[in-house]
Structure 1
Amino acid sequence: MQTIGFLVHPSFHMLSLGALSAFEFANRTLPEPAYEVVTVSMTGGLVRSCIGVDVDTVELRGQSFDTLMIAGAPTIVPFPPRLVEHLKDATARHRRVVSICTGAFVLAEAGLLDGRRATTHWFHARELADRFPAVKVEQDRIFIADGPIWTSAGASAAIDLALALVEQDHGVEIARAVARKLVVYHRRPGGQSQFSELLDIAPKSDRIQRALTYARRNLQTELSVTQLAKVASLSPRQFSRAFLAETGQPPAKIVERLRVEAARLLMEQSRHPIDVIARQTGFADRDRMRRAFLRAFGQPPQAIRRSGRSDPIDIAESAVEA
């Protein structure tokens, strides 16, 4: 029986508890229950969440868990010095140490993330990088496994991470069955973007919006600055200047990201060959698409396709041995 120590703290986010459902349904799926969940806190007793719901806990002392998970919070809350001290040797007492959302901050404060890749909710990622420069923060990732340390983005990303833990323990078929019972379409790969460029771009002017709409509908064409400027009824220089001012990025970068996201959807939802997808989304060849995927997701197209189909994750590929 593997024990999951789930650490909560005052004002923790209730949605963090959703990750535990993956272990509950794994127990129901496996021939024999494999997980025991113990909710712990530094004080024991009732701990109030950010929405006012109390959760009963056991005091965290010197217990050793197979996996210690730290709940996140909507904001960055101060962690008790006793907790930080307790976590400094956590990898010696627990096989895996996991943070959800802003829980990454206490791992960083304890020094567990020094020299490691880590993520957190995109809204707080810049602060994590600024406060802890020894941490290799990757702000646009769903979750990251680096040796025994796992970190996730906020909200529902904890479920993707928990499914990956189940997959590491019991294989892809069990994780897939658990995902179905949770009514999750599939476990998103850790390298998937936390948010979509297609939704995040919101230019102020109709001209730039018109150019973006044209680009989305014509990804298979060249989409040069001259072409987009013509659609916007601006000179290329005026268009480039206005586009950067309204989106914060140059046209070429946005066009590449739109192509990458369109290609990712095709990789996950179709069986088209990679060469065909590259042509349909405007990449000259599969090599250029591969380089764009590495820039955007940190993974090649083949890895995105395997993950999208719930194939086994390769923890060793993204992990650094402790």
Structure 2
Amino acid sequence: MQIGDYRIEPPVVLAPMAGVTDRPFRQLCKRLGAGLAVSEMTTSDASLWHTEKSRLRRDHAGEPGPIAVQIAGYDPEQMAEAARVNVAQGAQIIDINMGCPAKKVCKVDSGSALMRDEALVARICAAVVAAVEVPVTLKIRTGWARAHRNGLAIARIAEDSGIRSLVVHGRTREDQYEGLAEYDTIAAIKQALRIPVTANGDIDSPEKAKQVLDYTGCDAVMVGRAAQGRPWIFREIAHYLATGDKLPAPTRFEQRRWLLEHLDALYAFYGEGRGVRVARKHIQWYCQAEPGAAAFWQAVNRLTDVGEQRRCVDEFLSQPALPEVA
């Protein structure tokens, strides 16, 4: 998939997820096969840019390109300025968020709430495209509500405004993350546009990725929740798309190594105190399918010391896997 001057290879993209796709996780997913990793959503409200959370979300030091930054807001001029600031700080692709269904985002008329106002969508897209020289992309849902699937109309507005690539999540704002993603709307959007389209929603295996690509005709797939605790899903999908063969599951040794590398990166990025807290959810995701995970999680969740947390994880994953009981 081509976005401006950038070749996205393999065509498997890490979705932006607030509180998850920080720099350490993006770097790990890129190492493990993601062709592109989009940053956490960054507000366009300049009054919030001084916060530690906002600063860390704009930190791309040492991150391999292309660096894609997602911005969110409702005011075209604020969005344009946010795009300029992020490009000045290293962003090589700017992504506009019109897909987030979270109440705290939609109640301020941002995220997928914007899909209710097609004229405003056009103004925001045009303002951001005009503000920066880098490619601008857009993430949307199939519509605001099940009875109002206007994703195709929004997609056409985006293309006419100069948006270079589109991601479509196969649910409406009303659906949140419930039920099953539908791909008919995504297929219709892909058929109608000339720009690349990425399919998103419920892509949790190599087979599902290929099925969705074949059904929709899209140029790439985007993986979100399925990558939590399983960042190697990107190399699995990439290998399957390229060869038709499945990679063997990663060994326990590989999983241990990747998790420990991830923990070390989190401690370095956030500092020890916050790093321990942020690491907890990742540890739970990585280890939830392991035998004895419940007792392990209860123990590790109480730890506040970096060394103890890391040692506990190391010991747990150094134990040989127990055989499955028939």
TM-score if structure 1 supplies the norm length? 0.28
> If the length of structure 2 is used for normalisation, what is the TM-score?
0.28
